[in-house]
Amino acid sequence: MNDVATAGLAQKDEQYMVAPPRDRLVIEARKLDFFYGKHQSLFGVDLPVERNKITALIGPSGCGKSTLLRALNRIYDLYPGQYAVGRILLDGVDMLADRRSVQLLRERNTAGATVDEEPQVSRGGDLSTLRARVGMVFQKPTPFPMSIYDNVAFGVRLYHRKSKAEMDAIVERSLKRAALWDEVKNKLHTSGLGLSGGQQQRLCVARGIAVEPEVLLLDEPASALDPISTAKLEETLMELKRDFTIVIVTHNLQQAARISDYTGFMFLGKMIEFGPTEDLFSNPRAQRTRDYVTGRFG
Amino acid sequence: MDRALFRRIVNGLFVGACSIATLIALTALVLILWSLLSKGIGGLELEVFTKSQPAPGSEGGLANAIVGSIMMCALGMLIALVVGILAGTWLAEYGGQTTYGHIVRFLNDVLLSAPSILVGLFVYELLVAPFHGFSGYAGAVALAILATPIVTRTTEDILTLQPNALREAGMALGASRAFVIRSIIWKAARTGLVTGGLLGFARISGETAPLLFTSLGNQFMNTHMSQPMASLPTTIFQFALSAYEDWQRLAWVGALLIAIAVLSINIVGRILAREQHR
């Protein structure tokens, strides 16, 4: 891990960041605040995500790790009253660059908090493009009420017209990468709802990667699965990081330690510590992180 | 007294009371079906479906009333399904929590229990009086007004039950809100949407009062909806009140037909719903 640069250190309430080199980042949250109406649940969070690595977010319930994940593809936009202030850079392009977000950021800047550069309104905040590049898999499997084939093809059809042969190839490739192909190849045109929980979750992974996103966000994807399905899913994720960048929220510390390259520990809406997984687990710098990973609280 | 024995007695009394109440309700249903069957089945001949209503004392059937009922119910349900599903979707997915949404929901609930004769009078004022004529269209609109609130209500209820995770999953792939609703949410909710349609149909298939003011009735076969139109309920109403025995017999046949139609559509709907639920 000698290519890791130390970016920022100890702010006023113990915050330790060991960020990957800037030129290897694919998506990055900078000084991100998040609000559910009047309730603020993220406070100036930084999250640098390195390409082709697995980044895990851990922390006790309610610490904001799911909120942070949901901010990265702006899925919160579905709900009026929820909004983010700060920056979300995808390959250096600000995804929080729509008129409203920029105005909120300017207001915050004038209120005292500083950010590196003046925010500008741009087309970077186009949600459809953003979501094609940042896929998401949820806690509970969410197969659509249609066939396995149509589930995988759903996202692709939103963006491209493909011939039957091309689509067949995409579906097969996606299901193979999600390690589901062998189990479903003979029943592609039966309902996706007929699969087991673990299979449904891998179907959702296949659906997510079929559109070839750069980043795949996973929100506690294994919490509704049995240990065998979990192991299979983890194996799949390890394979997938060759082609994709993965950010995973997990309650399971062993899982984070097993599969991730970087880990962020969050507490009360703040990023307390971020760094290479090995370091964070074996030699945590913040007292809170130490307490959490040794099981003293949380 | 022994505690366990006391509990057994209380339990027995409660189960007994429930059983008796069920029996009373079922008895009423069986009696209705029995009188319909015993008085209607005798007159259920092919002529009922092929011939229009007779003059007293001569041969005839209910063909004009059956055709009129089918046409008006079909058009009424078409309007109710389009308006009801769209309105219910709006309430569930878009504006349901706004002030305007609350007002719409409240008014829909009022309409849900509006007396059907008032709906008939309303459509009379709206579509009959200004055009100086009763018509099948007016009848269909009156029926649509009765069925729409039912469809709206069930649509909203069933869409609200669909998990948000499903909406998020669709949006996370980059689909627009409207596309997610059309291609995922409606599909997931289709069982409930079918049920809403069935409930609406069951409500309007036997409605008499609103048709008296709108489609009036017609003793001849008529397939032009701009003209007065016969319907089973109004024909039953007319025949049952008459002094002629053969008309009264046809009224019983008509009542039996409505019962069979509602029953079979319900059964078909349930089977469809179960198929889709698999």
Contact A158 B188 (CB under 8 A): no
In chain B, which among 134-163 make CB contacts under 8 A with chain A? 163
Q: Residue A193 — pLDDT band, cuts 50, 70, 90? A: very high
Residue B142 contacts residue B108 (beta carbons within 8 Å): no
Q: Note whether A6 and A18 are within 8 A (CB).
A: yes
pLDDT for A147 equals 94
Tell me which of B158, B161, B173 to substitute to probe the interface with A (most A C-beta atoms closer than 10 Å).
B173
Average pLDDT, rounded, for chain B: 91
Asked if A160 is an interface residue toward chain B (Cβ–Cβ < 8 A), one would say no
A135 vs B170, B172, B179: nearest CB: B172
Between A270-274, B95-99, B134-138, B230-234, the lowest mean confidence (pLDDT) is in B95-99
Mutation target for B interface from A74, A78, A147: give the one with most B CBs within 10 A: A78
pLDDT at res. A8: 39
Q: In whole angstroms, what is the distance from residue B234 CA to residue B251 CA?
A: 10
Residues of B whose CB is below 8 A from A95 = none
Over residues B191-210, mean pLDDT: 90
A245-249 β-sheet, strand order: A16-17, A270-276, A262-267, A54-58, A245-249, A215-219, A134-137
A208 chain-B contacts, CB cut-off 8 A = 172-173
What is the rounded CA–CA span in Å between residue A70 and residue A58? 15
Indicate the residue type of B168.
E
How many angstroms separate the CA atoms of A147 and A155, rounded? Answer: 14
User: Please, what is the average pLDDT of chain A?
Assistant: 87
pLDDT for the residue B189: 92
What the block records as the tokens of A41 is 């649940």
pLDDT of residue B274: 73
Q: How far apart are CA B45 and CA B62, in angstroms?
A: 10
Q: What is the pLDDT of residues A139-186, one digit of tens each?
A: 999 999 999 999 999 999 998 888 999 999 999 999 998 889 999 999
* Percentage of chain B lying above the pLDDT 70 cut: 98
Position A49, amino acid: V
Q: What pLDDT is attached to residue B34?
A: 93
- B85 in helix, strand or coil? helix
pTM, to two decimals: 0.82
Q: Kindly state whether A109 is in contact with chain B, defined as any CB-CB distance less than 8 angstroms.
A: no
Closest Cα in chain B, distance from residue A211 (Å) = 8
**Which residues are CB-neighbours of A135 under 8 A, at least 6 positions away?**
A73, A155, A208, A209, A211, A213, A215, A216, A217, B172, B173
Which of these, B132, B139, B141, B142, lies nearest to B231 by C-alpha position? B139
pLDDT of A121 above 90: no
Q: Name the least confident of A62-76, A188-202, B256-270.
A: B256-270
Whether chain A has a CB inside 8 Å of the CB on B98: the answer is: no
User: How close, in Å, is residue B225 to chain A by CA atoms?
Assistant: 40
Q: What is the pLDDT of residue A116?
A: 59
Count of Cβ atoms closer than 10 Å to residue B33 Cβ: 13
Contact across the interface for B175 and A158, Cβ inside 8 Å: yes
Q: What pLDDT was estimated at residue A113?
A: 57
Give the full edge-to-edge strand order of the sheet including A93-94. A39-50, A25-36, A82-90, A93-94
Q: Is A174 on the interface with B (CB under 8 A)?
A: no
What tokens were used for A64? 């904001």
Q: What is the pLDDT of residue A149?
A: 96
Give the count of Cβ contacts less than 8 A between chain A and B. Answer: 68
Q: Is the pLDDT of residue A114 over 90?
A: no
| Per-residue confidence band for B275, with pLDDT thresholds at 50, 70 and 90 | low
> What pLDDT, on a 0 to 100 scale, did the predictor assign at position B252?
93
In the structure, what pLDDT confidence band is assigned to residue B191 with cuts at 50, 70 and 90? confident
Q: What is the mean pLDDT of the segment spanning B61-70?
A: 93
Average pLDDT over residues A184-204: 92
- pLDDT at B21 exceeding the cut of 90: yes
- Whether the CB of B170 is below 8 Å from some CB of chain A: the reply is yes
Rounded CA gap, A184 and A202, in Å?
11
Q: Which residues of A touch B164 (CB under 8 A)?
A: 78
CA distances A140 to A185, B117, B163, B196, Å, are 23, 49, 10, 28
Phi-psi sector, A21: left (phi>0), alpha (psi -120 to 50), beta: beta
Q: How far A177 CA lies from chain B's nearest CA (Å)?
A: 18
Residue A275: Cβ within 10 Å count: 24
Task: Look at residue B277 and tell me whether its pLDDT is greater than 60.
Answer: no
Instruction: State what percent of residues in chain B have pLDDT above 90.
Output: 71
Question: For residue B31, what are the CA distances in angstroms to A238, A242, B161, B236?
Answer: 69, 72, 38, 19
Contact (CB<8Å) A78/B167: yes
pLDDT at residue A186 in the model: 94
Alpha carbons B273 and B278: distance in angstroms, whole number: 9
Please give the average per-residue pLDDT across A202-214, as a whole number. 93
How many angstroms away from the CA of B110 is the closest CA of chain A? 29
pLDDT at position A229, please?
86
B184 touches chain A (CB under 8 A): yes
Partner-chain contact A78 B169, CB within 8 Å: no
Mark which residues 189-208 of A lie under 8 Å from B by CB.
191, 194, 204, 207-208
The answer to whether A144 contacts B166, with C-beta atoms less than 8 Å apart, is: yes
Contacts of A86 (CB under 8 A, 6+ apart): A29, A30, A31, A32, A33, A44, A45, A96, A105, A115
- pLDDT-based confidence at B188, cuts 50/70/90? very high
Nearest to B173 among A78, A145, A155 (CB): A155
CA distance A151 to A170: 12
Q: Which residues of B203-213 are buried (b: 16+ CB within 10 A; e: fewer)?
A: bbbebbbbbbb
**What is the dihedral angle through the alpha carbons of A152, A153, A155, A160, rounded to the nearest 10 degrees?**
150
Q: pLDDT at position A10, please? A: 39
Distance CA A90, CA A135 (A): 13
**Pair of tokens at residue B105:** 């929901």
The residues with which A34 forms a beta bridge, in sequence order, are A42, A84
Residue type, A196: S
Nearest to A142 among B169, B179, B187 (CB): B169
Q: Is B274 on the interface with A (CB under 8 A)?
A: no
Give contacts of B96 with chain A, Cβ < 8 Å.
none
How far does B91 lie from chain A, in Å, by closest CA?
A: 15
Question: Which stretch of DSSP H or E encloses residue A271?
Answer: strand A270-276
A140 interfaces chain B, CB cutoff of 8 Å: yes
Residue B184: its chain A contacts at CB < 8 A?
144-145
Which of A83-92, A114-123, B76-85, B176-185 shows the lowest mean pLDDT across its residues? A114-123
φ and ψ at residue A104, rounded to 5 degrees: -60, -40
Min CA distance, A265 vs chain B (Å)? Answer: 25
Q: Where are the beta strands (DSSP E) in chain B?
A: none
Q: Is pLDDT at A82 greater than 80 in this prediction?
A: yes
% of chain A beyond a pLDDT of 70: 90
What totals of helices (H) and strands (E) does chain A contain, helices first? Answer: 11, 11
Token duo for residue B217: 């009735």
Does residue A224 belong to the interface with chain B, where contact is any CB pair within 8 Å? Answer: no
pLDDT at A96: 85
Q: Is B203 on the interface with A (CB under 8 A)?
A: no
pLDDT of A99 higher than 70: yes
Residues A167, A174: Cα–Cα separation, whole Å: 10
Q: What confidence category does residue B18 fall into, taking pLDDT thresholds of 50, 70 and 90? A: very high
Q: Does B277 touch chain A (CB under 8 A)?
A: no
Instruction: Output the six-digit token pair for B261.
Output: 């139609």
Please determine, for residue B278, whether its predicted confidence score (pLDDT) is greater than 50: no
Which among B189, B250, B223 has a CA at the least distance from the CA of B55?
Answer: B250
Residue B112, token pair as written in the block: 């849900």
More confident site: A77 or A112: A77
B109/B83 Cα distance (integer angstroms): 15
